[in-house]
Amino acid sequence: MARLTLRRRTVLFSALIVLIVSYCSLALVTSRWLEPERFDLTTDHLYTLSPGTRQIIDNVHRPLWLTLYFSQHATKDMPQLRSYEQRVAEMLQEMVARSHGRIRLQIVDPVPYSDDEASAEGNGLTPVSGGGNGERIFFGLVGSTRQPTSDVPSDLTPDTPQDKSAKSVDRTLPIPFFDQTREAFLEYDIAKLLYQLSEPEKPLIGVMTDLPVMGDPLQGTAPWAVMQQLQQLFNVDVLDASKLKKIDKNIQVLLLIHPKNLPTDAQYALDQYVLGGGHLAVFVDPFAESDPVALTEDQLAGTNNHSSNLPRLFADWGVAYSPDQVVLDRDRALPIELAGTNLLHPAMLGLGTQELNRDDVVTASLQRVTVSTAGHFDLLPNANTRLIPLMQSSADAEIVPTQRVIDASNNPSTLLQGYQPQNQNYVIAARLRGPFVSAFPEFAKRSGHLSASPSNEEVILVADTDLLTDRLWGETQNFLGQPVFSVFANNGDFISNLVDNLSGSSALLSIRGRSSSQRPFTRVDALRRAADRKFLQKEQELKNELADTKRRLSELQPAKDASDTSTTAEQRKEIEQFLQRQLAISKELRDVQHQLNAEIDALGTRLKVLNIVVLPGLITIAGLLYGWRRTRRNRRKRA
């Protein structure tokens, strides 16, 4: 019997060792060669990649290397930033897992005076101050099509065919700093970086306009600053509207600026470009101050040749726009100096964060955009499209005729006479989301004619062209003998973001903002709100009693000359009663605060007990019950 028991124990221990070895081997094999099954149990699926991101990753056909720089030591006392770094790292790891080895990731701590710190700065990352011991904090991402020299895995050496193809068009792009205020667009920013790295060359964008945005080499005038900025990021091709028959499909974004009396062929080309999936941004203006047409010609002809419109396409898209109306907004009016006098110009507006769409990637990070004599958009009653505002006026705005603004150019303050705000936010820039249908059904028999667009097609509309001019967002200053363009508004960033967003694939455009990973303590917030209500009630009670006491004292004051002693005593009695009541109310306020702290502490204790004691205890009890039932079942079988 003893030998049988010993043999049984030996078999059990041997089986246990085999089970452990088998489990470890299986875990090693699946983690190395098989894609593990992953589950996202967060409320808003923060770690589940959107379909657009998955499409971009699946279309990466050459190796990409990502390096996440994060200053671990400098942020040891910054738990919120360290938590966000974990969020970024986990998002990157999810993308790496999806890439099946095409994307490699390394995380680097750029300690001061190290090669890693020099590499981070050399690759375009922006450090911020505020770290421990005065250290700078790096928190950015560098993506490259060339393998870092410090990371040469054996399975992908520089001699492989994949690496040779990547070397032919080496690119390195950074995300300078992961700003936590842009957490909603974290996935978009990283996916955009991957998309740009996978593109072999800079995107081609087209510009069609009669405004001198590209300057004039014959006269020695340089392109506008916004165009110089675009030329650094994109290949820019200028189109001639008078000769335009068809728009090249290689043009990823077309900027149509200040269209006036476009030929039918050009309008049809625009129509087919949009229906074919092209990305169009239209800039119109009720009064373009940079229009080269002399204002005196308008005054002599009795017309406004400084306005622009796209009436046929707008009507087909369901857009309501009038070149005869300008938005005034005295709440956002910019100060100007005219004839030595400082005054506010209600047609020149400084749009702040409240007027910019914080949920759209184009405007989310902007702080200020300035516009001048801008129009507005709305939808027609029969529209099948959606208008999603990017920029709009405040509610303290009104609409006036364009001619009135022109007449008040020498004294803009007259525009405030008889000012009547309509309590409406007027849309100055917006996304127009389709589907669209052709505005030229008479050309249906033409070869290759498109009659409708995909359902998710978009067009960007901006009711101002003056925001593109240098004077509205920056000024050239002399620095050490060199001209430097100093900016005071984000107009240039708005255009760059707009073109950058539209030049991406349809997959990139489909990626929307997400919620923050920082989860609020709703129960604690509810307790604080309840306590605040009690505080306000007590404070109001104190103020009311103080007012009553002051009123009572003023009533007693006239009787002072008749009976000075009795009046003074009565006043003292009133004051003593008030002071006693004030002390009582202060004690009640402290009691409310103590009660709030006690409720929060009790809630924290309950959560700790639940997580540390109750749940593990339930799991342990369940395991013991299962083991007891199994042992009991085995004993019955032996019996």
66-88 pLDDT, tens per residue? 999 999 988 888 888 998 999 99
Q: Is residue 565 part of a domain?
A: no
Last residue of a domain, one of 151, 183, 198: 198
501 and 549 fall within a common domain: no
The least confident of 207-221, 224-238, 368-382, 541-555 is 541-555
Q: Which amino acid is at 596?
A: L
438 and 542 fall within a common domain: no
Between β-strands 458-462 and 427-433, what pairing exists: parallel, antiparallel or unpaired?
Answer: antiparallel
First-residue to last-residue Cα distance in the chain: 15
193 and 90 fall within a common domain: yes
- Measured CA angle at 486 (ends 484, 492), to 5 deg: 110
CA–CA distance, 137 with 182 (Å, rounded to integer): 18
456 and 603 fall within a common domain: no
Split at pLDDT 50, 70, 90, the class of 40 is: low
Q: Residue 28's pLDDT is what? A: 64
CB 179 within 8 A of CB 226: no
pLDDT at 158 over 50: no
CA–CA distance, 480 with 61 (Å, rounded to integer): 47
- Measured CA angle at 351 (ends 347, 353), to 5 deg: 165
From residue 167, give the alpha-carbon distance in Å to each of 61, 68, 158, 618.
Answer: 14, 21, 9, 58
CB 85 within 8 A of CB 70: yes
Q: Residue 47's pLDDT is what? A: 66
- Measured CA angle at 100 (ends 94, 106), to 5 deg: 60
Split at pLDDT 50, 70, 90, the class of 159 is: very low
pLDDT at 113 over 90: no
From residue 426, give the alpha-carbon distance in Å to each of 232, 354, 379, 385.
Answer: 33, 13, 12, 18
pLDDT at 162 over 50: no
- The mean pLDDT of 100-122, rounded to a whole number, is 92
CA–CA distance, 26 with 551 (Å, rounded to integer): 85
Split at pLDDT 50, 70, 90, the class of 563 is: very low
Q: Is residue 24 part of a domain?
A: no
Q: 364-395: per-residue pLDDT in tens?
A: 889 999 999 999 999 999 999 999 999 999 99
pLDDT at 550 over 70: no
From residue 543, give the alpha-carbon distance in Å to each of 69, 258, 534, 548.
Answer: 55, 60, 14, 9
Q: Which amino acid is at 25?
A: S
Which range has the top average pLDDT, 125-134, 533-542, 546-555, 582-591? Answer: 125-134
Handedness of CA 177, 181, 184, 185 (dihedral sign): negative
188 and 208 fall within a common domain: no
67 and 112 fall within a common domain: yes
CA–CA distance, 420 with 340 (Å, rounded to integer): 28
Split at pLDDT 50, 70, 90, the class of 245 is: very high
More confident residue, 38 or 359: 359
Which two tokens mark 389? 């505002």
Q: 232, 230, 296, 233: which is closest to 257 by C-alpha?
A: 230
Q: 196, 204, 193: which is closest to 234 by C-alpha?
A: 204
Q: Is residue 217 part of a domain?
A: yes
CA–CA distance, 579 with 587 (Å, rounded to integer): 12
55 and 141 fall within a common domain: yes
Q: Residue 262's pLDDT is what? A: 95
Q: Residue 27's pLDDT is what? A: 63
Handedness of CA 453, 458, 459, 461 (dihedral sign): positive
| Residue 350: strand pairing partners | 370
CB 158 within 8 A of CB 108: no
Q: Residue 78's pLDDT is what? A: 87
CB 546 within 8 A of CB 578: yes
Q: 402-425: per-residue pLDDT in tens?
A: 999 999 988 998 999 999 998 999
- The mean pLDDT of 174-187, rounded to a whole number, is 86
CA–CA distance, 117 with 71 (Å, rounded to integer): 9
186 and 213 fall within a common domain: no
pLDDT at 440 over 90: yes
CB 285 within 8 A of CB 257: no
Last residue of a domain, one of 198, 222, 251: 198
Handedness of CA 352, 354, 355, 358 (dihedral sign): positive
Q: Is residue 12 part of a domain?
A: no
pLDDT at 163 over 50: no
- The mean pLDDT of 237-245, rounded to a whole number, is 94
CA–CA distance, 186 with 518 (Å, rounded to integer): 14
Q: Residue 44's pLDDT is what? A: 57
CA dihedral 23, 29, 30, 35 (to 10 degrees): 170
Give me the number of domains the chain comprises. 3
Q: Is the pTM of this model over 0.95?
A: no
Write the DSSP string, 108-165: E---TTSHHHHHHHHTT---BS--GGG--B-EEEEEESS--TT---TTS-TTSHHHHH
pLDDT at 240 over 60: yes
Mean pLDDT of the chain, nearest integer:
81
Between β-strands 377-379 and 279-283, what pairing exists: parallel, antiparallel or unpaired?
Answer: unpaired
Q: Residue 70's pLDDT is what? A: 95
Q: Which amino acid is at 448?
A: G
For 100, which DSSP code?
A: T
For 504, which DSSP code?
A: S
The parent domain of residue 303 ranges over 204-322+374-392+424-509
Q: Residue 116's pLDDT is what? A: 92
- Measured CA angle at 473 (ends 467, 475), to 5 deg: 130
pLDDT at 562 over 50: no
Split at pLDDT 50, 70, 90, the class of 153 is: very low
Split at pLDDT 50, 70, 90, the class of 129 is: confident
Q: Residue 160's pLDDT is what? A: 41
- The mean pLDDT of 60-70, rounded to a whole number, is 92
| Cβ-defined contacts of 583-586 (< 8 Å, 24+) | 585/538, 585/541, 585/542, 585/545
Phi-psi region of 191 (alpha: psi -120 to 50; beta: other; left: phi over 0): alpha
CA–CA distance, 214 with 210 (Å, rounded to integer): 10
More confident residue, 345 or 181: 345
| % of the chain residues with pLDDT over 90 | 44
148 and 261 fall within a common domain: no
CA–CA distance, 64 with 333 (Å, rounded to integer): 48
Q: Is residue 349 part of a domain?
A: no
SS3 for 270-321 is: HHHHHHCCCEEEEECCCCCCCCCCCHHHHHHHCCCCCCCCCHHHHHHHCEEE
Q: Residue 76's pLDDT is what? A: 86
Which two tokens mark 56? 């971009």
Q: Residue 549's pLDDT is what? A: 62
Which two tokens mark 273? 């470009």
By 3-state DSSP, what share of the chain in percent is helix, strand and coil, each rounded to 5?
A: 45, 20, 35
502 and 538 fall within a common domain: no
Q: Is residue 192 part of a domain?
A: yes
217 and 296 fall within a common domain: yes
Burial class (CB in 10 A: 0-12, 13-18, 19+), 453: buried
Q: 315-370: per-residue pLDDT in tens?
A: 999 999 999 999 999 999 999 888 778 889 999 999 999 999 988 889 988 999 99
Q: Is residue 464 part of a domain?
A: yes
Q: Residue 107's pLDDT is what? A: 95
CB 395 within 8 A of CB 374: no
The least confident of 163-172, 412-421, 423-432 is 163-172
CA–CA distance, 191 with 144 (Å, rounded to integer): 14
Q: Which amino acid is at 326?
A: V
Q: Is residue 627 part of a domain?
A: yes
Q: Residue 66's pLDDT is what? A: 95
503 and 533 fall within a common domain: no
Q: 474-496: per-residue pLDDT in tens?
A: 887 766 566 777 889 999 989 98
